[in-house]
Structure 1
Amino acid sequence: MIFKSLCRHAGIGANSYLIETSAARVVLDAGMHPKHEGNEAVPHFEFLEPGSVDSIVISHSHLDHVGTLPVFLESQPQAKVFLSPETAELSSALLHNSVNVMQSKRIELGIAEYPLFDHKELDQITETYELRGIERPFELDQYGTLKATFHDAGHILGSVGMTIKGDGKTIFYTGDVNFEDATVQKGALFPEEPVDALIVETTRGDHARRPDYARSDEEDALAAAIQGVLERRGSVLIPVFAMGKTQEVLGMLQRFKKEGLIPKTTPVYIGGLSTKMTLVYDRHSKTSRRKMQGFRFMKDMEIEAGKRKRTGPIPFLPGCIYALSSGMMTEKTVSNNFARMGVLENKKHGLFFVGYADPESPGGRIRAAQPGDEILLDPAYPKVKLNCEVKTFDFSGHSTREAIADYIVKVRPKKAFLVHGDEPAIEWFRQEIAARLPDTEIIVPQPGEPYEI
C-alpha cells in the first residue's frame, strides 16, 4: 500500500492525497489553494494517469479540500465521488460561487484559464455523487478491496475523518478536525484503535492556546464587546466565512439575545452566499449531529439575510450587527467594502474577528495595525485610517495542537503523515510525536514522493 501527496505546495493549500494498492487507487480530497491563482492553485493531478482512479473521497466542503473536484473528474470521469449528504449540498453551493469568482478574476486579473470549470459541469457532477452517512462502512472500489467508514470530524457541518482498510492495513485520515464542542457543531467522534498509518492535520501546531481559555468565557467577552458598541450607537462588523463560521456566530447571537446579553431587537445582517449555506444548515437541523438540534436560523431567528427580506444592497445603519464574508476581508468582498466605506474610520463602530486571517490579507493587516494607522484595504482605493474598536476572539474550527497530539498518542500509528500545516506547525508536531511515540515513523510527505504504508 502506497501513500502519495498530490499537493502542489507544502503546508495548507490544495489538499489532495493518493492511496494506492495493487488492486485499487483512491484519492482523498481535491482542494484549491487559497493563495495561488490559475493552474498553480490546482493539485498535481498530472501525477495520476487518466482514467486510473477508482474513487475520490471528500472530507468536507471548504474550498481547500473540494475546490478542484471538477478539474480532477475531467481526467478521471470514471471515479466515484463519496461524501456526506451535508458536504454534497454545501460543496455544490460553494463551487457554483467559485465559478462566479473565477469569472470575475478572469476579467480583473487577466487569468486566461479561468474559470477552471463551469456551472453546467457542476450540475452534471452533482448528479453522480455517492452519499454516505457516518459510521456506515462502504466499498471504495468495485472489487471491495478497499473499504471506508466516515466519522464525524466536528469541523463544520458534514465534515468527516475516515478509516480506510485494505491489504491488511488500517489508515486513518483526519481531514480538518475539532474535538471540542462549538456553539452549533459538536466535537469530533473518532475511533481510538491503533492504526498502521495516520494522515493528520497540523494547522494550529505553531502556537498553544492560552491556558485560561474557556469557550463560554470567550463567547461572553464577544457579547460584552458587541453590547459596548451598541450602547454608543455604533454597529458591529464581524468578518466571517460564509460556511461554518457564519452559522457559529448566528448561534452565539441567538444565545446572547435569549439571555439578554444584547438587545433582542438588534438587527442581524448576513450576505447572500451565507444565506445559501445557512439554509443548508437549516435543512439538516434535525438530521445532523449538532447542538441546537432542530433550530432553524432562517425561520426561528430574526435575520436580514440575502435578498429574501429586501431588495438592493445591504444597508449600513447604526445599532446593527453585520456578519459578512469574507472572513479575511479579501478585496471586493462585502466585509471589505463595509470596512472601507464606513466602519474602519468611525470610533463608534466595532470590528470583531472570530476566525483566522492570513497576515497578508486585509483582515491580517488590520489585526496587526495600531489605532490611527492608515491601512490599505483595496489597491483600487485610498488607504483608510483605523479609528474603530478592533478585537480578536478565538473560535477556531480546528483542534488545538495538544488535543490532536493526544489523539495521535491514542491511536499509536506506525507511520504518521503530517499534512495541512505550515512549517513551524509541522515541526512542533514532529518533535512532540517523536518524544511521546519514539517508535512511530514521522513523515512530512513531499509532493509526488511514494511512501509505503
Structure 2
Amino acid sequence: MKLTIWGAAQQVTGSMHLLQTDNYTILIDCGLDYEKGTLQEENIYFPFDPASVDVVILTHAHIDHSGNLPTLVRMGFEGQILATSPTADLTELLLLDSVNVFLGKQNKASRGRKRNSGPPPLYLQKHVNDTMERFVTIGFNREFKLTDSVSVTFIPVGHLLGAAAVVLCIKENGQEKKIAFTGDIGRKNYPVLVDPEPIPQVDYLVCESTYGGRFHSTDATLQDTLIDTIKEACIKFPGRLIIPAFSIGRTQALVYSLNKIFSQGLLPPVKVFVDSPLANHATEVYRKYPHLLNAESRDFYKRQGDEFEFTELTYIHTLKESTAISNYHEPCIIISSAGMLEGGRIQDHLYYNIQNYYCTILFIGYCAKGTLGDRLLRGDPIVRLRNRDLMVYATIKKTDLLSGHGDHKDLVNTVTQQNPARLKAVFLVHGDRPGMQALMTSLNDLGYHVNLPEKGQTFEL
C-alpha cells in the first residue's frame, strides 16, 4: 500500500491524498490550491491520471478540500464520491459559488479588452452537475464496504456540519492495515456543532496541523466577547457593527450565538442583518439536519424554536435589499461575506462604513496575508475600495473564539488518543511549516513517529 501526499503539503490549502493498493486507488479530498500562482495554473492538471482513481472520499465541504472535484470529473474520473449527506449538500453550494467566482474573475479581467480574454474558468455549472451525480452519501460510524478488501468509516470531527475523519480498513497480502485521515478537526463546545469524536486505533494517521503551535484565547467566553463588542459598538454609541463571516459554518454559529444573547434578554434589541445569499442557502442545509447538531442546539430548538431565526434578525436576499441597508440609520449588526473581504457584498458595506467613526468591524476568522482583511488587521491607515483610497476611521477588532479549527492542544489530544506503540507513523498536513514543526516536536516528545511530507512524496505503508 502506498500513500502519496499531493496537496496541503506544508501549506494549508489544496488537500489531496492518494492511497494505492495492489488493485484499488482511493483519493481522499480534492481541494483547490490557493497558495501559489493562479487557480488555473495550480489546479487544472493532476499529477496522476484522474481516470485511474477508483473512488474519492471527501472529508468535508470546504473548498480547499472539495473545490477541484469538478476538474477531476472533467479530466476523466468516473467513480463514486463518498461523503456524508450534509457534506454533499454543502459541497454543491460551494462548487456552484466557485463557478460564479471564476466567471466573475474572467469578466473582471476582460473589461476594456477583447471579450473573454480573462482566465478561463476551471469548470462550469455543467461540470458541477456532473460531479454531484457521482456522490454517494453514507452515515457516521457505519462501516461501508468499498470492495471485499477495503472498507471506510466516517467519524464526526465537528469543524463543519457533516465533517468527518476517514478511517480506512484495508486487507492486503493477508494483513489488515488501518489508516485514518482527520480532515479538519473542530473544537469542543463550538456553537451548533458536535464535539470531535475519538478516532479508533489505526496503524497510520494523516493529521491536519492548521493551528500547530497556536492556542485559542481562554480569557473570555464567546458570549461575553459578543456582548461587550455589541454594547460598545451599538448601545453605548449609536453605531453599527460589521462582522465579515464565511457563509458556511461561521455565519450559522454566529447567528445561533446572537440568538441566545437576544432571546435571554442579555442585551436590548439590536437589528441584525445577514447579507449573504450563500449563507442563506447554507442555513437551510443546517435546518435540514437538526439531528446532527449538538445537544445544546437541539435542546434550544425544543424550548424556543428555530436556532437560526429570532425577532431582531433579517435575512437579506436581493441586491436591492442589500443596498438599502446603507440607508438604515439605527444601530445594527451586519453579517456578510466574504470573511477575508476579498469579494462579495461585504465590500459594499465596507465602502460605505470604513470612514465611519461609529462603525466597528469585528473579524471572527483567519485572514490570509495580503488580503484586505489582513491589511485592516495589521493597521493600514488607508485601503483601496472601488478604485478609491479610503481612510480607515472605523474601529477594527478581532476574536478567534469562532475559529472552527482545534488549536495545538486539540491536535495533540487527537493524536494521543492513539497508542504510540501501535501507531506506526503520523503524517502532518494542512498547515504551515512552523506550525507543523511545533506540533511535530510535541508529538515526538510523547513518543510518536512524525513525518512532514513534501508535495508528491510517497510512503510505503
TM score, norm. by length of structure 2: 0.89
Which of 378, 381, 385 matches 2:391?
A: 385
1:323 aligns with 2:323: no
Number of residue pairs matched?
438
CA contact (8 A) 2:10 2:436 kept: no
Alpha-carbon distance between aligned partners in 2 of 1:116 and 1:434, rounded to the nearest angstrom: 41
1:356 aligns with 2:369: no
Instruction: Give the aligned partner of residue 39 of structure 2.
Output: 38
Which of 261, 265, 272 matches 1:260?
A: 265
Name the SS of the counterpart of 2:396 in structure 1: strand
Question: After alignment, is 47-56 or 3-12 more displaced?
Answer: 3-12
1:108-152 CA-to-partner distances (Å, cap 9, x unmatched) read 235755321111222232122100110011123xx3321110011
Alpha-carbon distance between aligned partners in 1 of 2:45 and 2:295, rounded to the nearest angstrom: 35
1:450 aligns with 2:452: no
Instruction: Give the aligned partner of residue 68 of structure 1.
Output: 68
CA contact (8 A) 2:74 2:127 kept: no
1:9-50 CA-to-partner distances (Å, cap 9, x unmatched) read 6311111000111121100101012345233342862x2224
Correspondence list, 1:26-425, <5 A = 26-36=26-36, 37-42=38-43, 45=46, 47-109=47-109, 112-140=118-146, 143-166=147-170, 167=172, 168-193=176-201, 195-210=202-217, 212-213=218-219, 217-231=221-235, 232-264=237-269, 266-289=271-294, 291-293=296-298, 294=301, 295-297=305-307, 302-307=312-317, 311=321, 313-316=323-326, 317=328, 318-330=330-342, 332-342=343-353, 344-369=354-379, 374-378=381-385, 380-394=386-400, 395-411=402-418, 412=420, 413-425=423-435
Name the SS of the counterpart of 1:405 in structure 2: helix
Name the SS of the counterpart of 1:296 in structure 2: coil
Name the SS of the counterpart of 1:376 in structure 2: strand
CA contact (8 A) 1:278 1:297 kept: no
Unaligned residue ranges in structure 1 (runs of 5+): none
Name the SS of the counterpart of 1:92 in structure 2: helix
Alpha-carbon distance between aligned partners in 1 of 2:372 and 2:292, rounded to the nearest angstrom: 37
In the alignment, residue 363 of structure 1 is paired with which amino acid? G
Name the SS of the counterpart of 2:373 in structure 1: helix
Q: How much does 1:365 deviate?
A: 1.0
1:441 aligns with 2:449: yes
Alpha-carbon distance between aligned partners in 1 of 2:186 and 2:8, rounded to the nearest angstrom: 25
Question: After alignment, is 101-110 or 291-300 more displaced?
Answer: 291-300
**Judging changes above 3 Å, is the alpha-carbon distance between structure 1 residues 309 and 284 closer, same or farther for their aligned structure 2 residues?**
farther
Alpha-carbon distance between aligned partners in 2 of 1:286 and 1:264, rounded to the nearest angstrom: 30
**Judging changes above 3 Å, is the alpha-carbon distance between structure 1 residues 161 and 250 closer, same or farther for their aligned structure 2 residues?**
same
Fraction of identical pairs, as percent: 24
In the alignment, residue 327 of structure 1 is paired with which amino acid? G
RMSD of aligned alpha carbons: 2.2
**Judging changes above 3 Å, is the alpha-carbon distance between structure 1 residues 139 and 301 closer, same or farther for their aligned structure 2 residues?**
farther
**Judging changes above 3 Å, is the alpha-carbon distance between structure 1 residues 417 and 31 closer, same or farther for their aligned structure 2 residues?**
same
1:249-303 CA-to-partner distances (Å, cap 9, x unmatched) read 1011101101222223523333211111111111112455564124535555653
Unaligned residue ranges in structure 2 (runs of 5+): 111-116
Name the SS of the counterpart of 1:73 in structure 2: helix
CA contact (8 A) 1:224 1:261 kept: no
Q: How much does 1:178 deviate?
A: 1.3
In the alignment, residue 392 of structure 2 is paired with which amino acid? L
